[in-house]
């Protein structure tokens, strides 16, 4: 059984390596009823070009129930993806998102949510923690399949990026940020600056 929904894509993670899909992107978005959706799996770079959506695209697609037990998770039927529009202006994006914002992570969890926007009172710190710059041997074996699909090899980002912040209820949080855009910023800034981290922190 599947349901068709119209969803504003708000979050895409940097690809992770998958035995079954080579690589996949965990995607978050909100439908017209104000319900959040976690779309998984999405092997984004392996979709047909006209189905490779961006953040803040509005897409129409069919969804099946997810298998991980979380209420927002849905399995997308990728062959049904249609990109209808792209929201360029922040106000248009906020019209979708703002009615669903929670004041804190605690409130979000109390309501039984595992995916939702949380209001930020203050950003305290951005950190980049060095991690292993190389894929594991098992991951490298999986990535060899990319050559069969004529895809550029997935680059290992040698940092874990975190933001320490305070929500509207005054609680402090330290969140791992795996958004596609943040990691692509590192890749871009690395070509422009001797040390990209201070520039990322500034931005």
| Mean predicted confidence (pLDDT) in 24-53 | 95
Task: List pLDDT tens digits, range 1-13.
Answer: 678 999 999 999 9
Considering the domain architecture, whether residues 89 and 140 belong to the same structural domain is answered as no
Q: Tell me how far the alpha carbon of residue 65 is from its chain's centroid.
A: 19
Q: Are 67 and 75 spatial neighbours (Cβ–Cβ below 8 Å)?
A: yes
Please tell me which residue, 120 or 22, carries the higher pLDDT value.
120
- Domain final residue pick, 100, 130, 165: 100
- Domain final residue pick, 69, 100, 131: 100
The confidence band for 183, taking pLDDT boundaries of 50, 70 and 90, is very high
CB-based contacts of 201, cutoff 8 Å, min separation 6? 126
| Mean predicted confidence (pLDDT) in 174-180 | 96
Residue 148 confidence (pLDDT) = 67
110 within some domain: no
Please tell me which residue, 22 or 61, carries the higher pLDDT value.
61
pLDDT(25) > 90:
yes
State pTM to two decimals. Answer: 0.91
CA angle (11, 18, 112) in 5-degree steps: 45
β-bridge pairing 73-86 and 36-39: parallel
Residue 13 confidence (pLDDT) = 96
pLDDT(71) > 80:
yes
pLDDT(147) > 70:
no
Name the β-bridge partners of 17.
23
Task: List pLDDT tens digits, range 93-112.
Answer: 999 999 999 999 999 999 99
Considering the domain architecture, whether residues 81 and 169 belong to the same structural domain is answered as no
Residue 195 confidence (pLDDT) = 94
How many domains would you assign to the chain?
A: 2
Please tell me which residue, 22 or 60, carries the higher pLDDT value.
60
CB-based contacts of 43, cutoff 8 Å, min separation 6? 18, 21, 22, 23, 24, 25, 78
195 within some domain: yes
What range does the domain containing 154 cover? Answer: 121-202
């Amino acid at each position: 059984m599947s349901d068709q929904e119209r969803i504003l894509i708000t979050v895409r993670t940097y690809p992770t390596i998958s035995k079954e899909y080579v690589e996949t992107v965990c995607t978050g978005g909100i439908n017209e009823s104000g319900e959040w959706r976690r779309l998984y799996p999405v092997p984004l770079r392996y979709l047909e070009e006209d189905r490779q959506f961006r953040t803040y695209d509005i897409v129409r697609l069919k969804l099946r129930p997810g298998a991980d037990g979380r209420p927002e998770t849905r399995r997308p039927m990728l062959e049904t993806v249609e990109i209808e529009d792209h929201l360029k202006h922040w106000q248009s994006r906020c019209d979708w998102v703002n009615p669903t914002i929670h004041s804190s992570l605690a409130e979000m969890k109390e309501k039984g949510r595992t995916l939702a926007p949380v209001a930020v009172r203050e950003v305290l710190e951005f950190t980049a923690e060095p991690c292993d710059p190389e894929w594991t041997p098992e991951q490298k074996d999986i990535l060899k399949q990319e050559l069969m699909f004529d895809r550029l090899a997935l680059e290992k980002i040698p940092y874990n990026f975190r933001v320490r912040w305070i929500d509207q209820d005054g609680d402090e949080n330290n969140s791992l940020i795996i958004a596609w855009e943040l990691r692509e910023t590192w890749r871009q800034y690395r070509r422009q600056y001797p040390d990209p981290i201070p520039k990322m922190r500034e931005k």
